[in-house]
Structure 1
Amino acid sequence: MHPCSSVLHLLLRCMRGCCRHSRSRVPRRLRRHVSYIRLIFKSLYFNSLTNSDVVTDSVLEPVFWMVEVVTRWFGMVFVFLVVALTSSVVFIAYYCLLPLVLHTYSPGWMIWHICYGHWNLVMIVFHYYKATQTPPGYPSKTKTDVPFVSVCKKCIIPKPARSHHCGICKTCILKMDHHCPWLNNCVGHFNHRYFFSFCLFLTLGCMYCSVSGRHLFIDAYNTIDEVSQPPYTYKDRMFYKSVIYMWVLTSTVSVALGALTLWHALLITRGETSIERHINSKEAKRLAKRGRVYRNPFSYGKLNNWKVFFGVEKRSHWLTRVLLPSGHAPYGDGLTWDIYPLKKDMMPV
């Protein structure tokens, strides 16, 4: 008998044994998961091809499964947090800061704050809505003429270049970057631009609130103990506490989200996704040992990578498609990719 056939036979026997043994002790809803976990550990003893990578993946499989389940079920909670926290900052800006701006700022500064603040808010809301509601893109399950580089072991369908399987969405994603719990959606070919633009404009909005409200925060922080005493009213206390809350929240988010935005900007400049960054790094090290240089086949040059990412085809698109809300489709269909080993101007402007 072939060794692989014997191993498969033993695994099937273990699965049947685990299922029969668990019926009497484990609730029906957990039987499948318990049997699967037992099968993983038992397979370590019967697999003659076991190595450190197989053992590590098998031991961590329950952890990966738990993370996927938690992320899937708590996706709406994360979305609610984004909406609630953003709405609270907007409410404070309108209720506390806008009247102060109208009474103390000069007309020029007042117009600038109102125009910039509302433009930034529109860009945040538009791109977050589009990022959550736009499907990232999925490989075709019926077409057979689409070029593919491998077959997904979980979906059992051909995988086009740059597509990867998402364990949370339970399907393959075109040009997958990552699964974002704050969007409750995967970031892929058709909503990658919306995700990055949301991160960018939310960072700019938080920096704007943090910088413009710095002096108010210092005054509120220095007088927070005094406002708890008369003659300060409840409205005064809530005003100072709201200013402190807004400044701390926006400053924290601007630092954390700003670092994430810079990281994705670097990836876009290189023509990579988060997943491809790890793949390309390993491939570069492998070829370096052979004295060869690895070049990313999907990088068209730094400027062209940004043009392709934002869909900029002429100069006016930097305004209409980047600085203003735009729902235009991304470059390409996500199934096939043009490979340019040399840097050339794909989209002259």
Structure 2
Amino acid sequence: MYAIKRGFFRLMRRIEDKFSSCCTYFQLFIFAIRSVSFNSFSSKNALFDAAMEPVFWTVDKVAKYLGPMFVVMVTCLTTSVVLIYYFYVLPYYIGDEVGFVVFFLVIYGHWLLVNIIFNYYKGVRTLPGSPPLFTSEVGAVTICKRCIAPKPPRTHHCSVCNKCVLKMDHHCPWLNNCVGHFNHRYFLQFCVFMLMGTLFVSISVWPLFKEEFFDIEKTYANFLRYLAPIKGVANAVKAENNKNPEHSIINNMVKEKESTFHKVIIYEFFLTFSVTIALGILTCWHVYLISRGETSIERYINNEERKRLKKVGVVYKNPYSFGFVENFRIFLGLTNKRTFWRHILFPSSHVPIEDGIVWSIHQDNLRTNNGFKHV
């Protein structure tokens, strides 16, 4: 019995020694891997970016090739809304013989349409701007790790366009272009005027939509027409038609002309109303960023910097922010003799105040960031 116990303890000791040696070898292996791959600049974010690189590459390629399709889609949808308004909505108000209302709809609607077309065209065709290749023209810069070229302040590399963009905000697939320094104003004005346009059309179409969509007989009849190919519904419709041949639900109640009018009005309202909601959220977000002197990318960078400085008791302030009014004046390029009424409310191709390479800095905010003002 004693010999058995002794043999068992020896076996357990050997297993323990083997396990310890395996753990030691594993720790040495991990140490070797870490020593080879050590980088003082590595972080969790860098590892996440490396792991997600295939996903980012796929998204970039899809955005690049779908961009022209999105531009065509925006053009076609906008054209359809305008044509429906001309041929169906405007005649409705003209028929009511309300002269002032028709005059307002025509003048205000065409003013919005001209601004929408102009700003969208300029947003698509205007290059956002790229930094020069010579460092003497740039001044204080960093080096882009992808372009291996000078990168001025507020400049970021676009992986879709595969180039650095001055004051890059984001790559917009609806423009098939980067939103940067020289076309950022066109992008925002397009969003604002398009939002005003969809809201204008939604309000104008509402009386017709209410009459068409909430008409129980028309809605029910059109519903049956869409479901007519289904066997059970088709039989029920045929039976109802046989009972009342003079008052057929489909043949007499909804004529082809009324059916087309019903469809286009429903389409017009739902399209413009849904765009109003989605575009309204996007526009409010960009207005908020501009009021703080930030871009979408800088918003993320500034938040990280704010968290970092908060740990050492320093309040971070954006050095490119000069206050609500001044931020918009700089963004809209309102300097010298430029006015809001002429250069913003009407089409204008004026360039921004800054050159996109050297930026004015709010000195008080800069001193705050350097630690002169603590919490």
Q: TM-score range by the shorter chain?
A: 0.7 to 0.9
- Residue matched to 1:132: 124
From 131, 140, 157, give the equivalent of 1:148: 140
Identity %: 44
- Residue matched to 1:251: 273
Q: 8 Å contact 2:60–2:160 — kept in the other structure? A: yes
Structure whose CA Rg is larger: 2
What is the deviation of 1:52?
A: 3.7
Matched position secondary structure for 2:334: coil
What is the deviation of 1:280?
A: 0.8
Matched, 1:230 2:252: yes
Q: 8 Å contact 2:131–2:138 — kept in the other structure? A: no
Q: Can you list the C-alpha shifts for 1:61-111, whole angstroms capped at 9, x where unaligned?
A: 100000011111111011111011111101100111111121114111110
Matched, 1:47 2:42: no
- Residue matched to 2:332: 310
Q: Within 5 A, what are the aligned runs for 1:15-30?
A: none
From 135, 150, 167, give the equivalent of 1:158: 150
Moved more, 139-148 or 43-52: 43-52
From 201, 206, 211, give the equivalent of 2:198: 206
Q: 8 Å contact 1:271–1:305 — kept in the other structure? A: yes
- Quick one: which amino acid aligns to residue 280 of structure 1? N
- Residue matched to 1:25: none
- Structure 1 segments unaligned to the other structure (5+ residues): 1-42, 344-349
What is the deviation of 1:231?
A: 5.2
Moved more, 130-139 or 142-151: 142-151
What is the deviation of 1:60?
A: 0.6
Aligned residues: 301
- Residue matched to 2:291: 269
Matched, 1:174 2:198: no
Q: Report the TM-score when normalising by structure 1.
A: 0.82
Q: 8 Å contact 2:335–2:353 — kept in the other structure? A: no
Q: Indicate how the Cα distance of structure 1 residues 241 and 315 shifts in structure 2: closer, same or farther if over 3 A, else same.
A: farther
What is the deviation of 1:54?
A: 4.0
How far, CA to CA, are the matches of 2:34 and 2:276 in structure 1?
46
What is the deviation of 1:226?
A: 4.1
- Residue matched to 1:239: 261
Q: Indicate how the Cα distance of structure 1 residues 44 and 170 shifts in structure 2: closer, same or farther if over 3 A, else same.
A: farther
What is the deviation of 1:312?
A: 1.6
How far, CA to CA, are the matches of 1:109 and 1:53 in structure 2?
57
How far, CA to CA, are the matches of 2:35 and 2:60 in structure 1?
27
Q: Report the TM-score when normalising by structure 2.
A: 0.76
How far, CA to CA, are the matches of 2:114 and 2:291 in structure 1?
26
Q: 8 Å contact 2:135–2:150 — kept in the other structure? A: no
Q: Within 5 A, what are the aligned runs for 1:322-337?
A: 322-337=344-359
Moved more, 247-256 or 232-241: 232-241
How far, CA to CA, are the matches of 1:125 and 1:139 in structure 2?
29
Q: Indicate how the Cα distance of structure 1 residues 55 and 162 shifts in structure 2: closer, same or farther if over 3 A, else same.
A: closer
- Structure 2 segments unaligned to the other structure (5+ residues): 1-32, 223-249, 366-375
- Quick one: which amino acid aligns to residue 286 of structure 1? R
Q: Indicate how the Cα distance of structure 1 residues 192 and 105 shifts in structure 2: closer, same or farther if over 3 A, else same.
A: farther
What is the deviation of 1:316?
A: 6.4
Q: Can you list the C-alpha shifts for 1:175-195, whole angstroms capped at 9, x where unaligned?
A: 000000000000000000000
Q: Indicate how the Cα distance of structure 1 residues 231 and 334 shifts in structure 2: closer, same or farther if over 3 A, else same.
A: same
Matched position secondary structure for 2:171: strand
How far, CA to CA, are the matches of 2:121 and 2:115 in structure 1?
10
What is the deviation of 1:45?
A: 11
What is the deviation of 1:118?
A: 0.5
Q: 8 Å contact 1:92–1:242 — kept in the other structure? A: yes
Matched position secondary structure for 1:144: helix
Matched position secondary structure for 2:208: helix
Q: 8 Å contact 1:300–1:342 — kept in the other structure? A: no
How far, CA to CA, are the matches of 1:249 and 1:44 in structure 2?
55
- Quick one: which amino acid aligns to residue 78 of structure 1? F
Matched, 1:102 2:94: yes
Matched, 1:188 2:183: no
What is the deviation of 1:256?
A: 0.4
RMSD: 2.0
Q: Indicate how the Cα distance of structure 1 residues 44 and 63 shifts in structure 2: closer, same or farther if over 3 A, else same.
A: farther
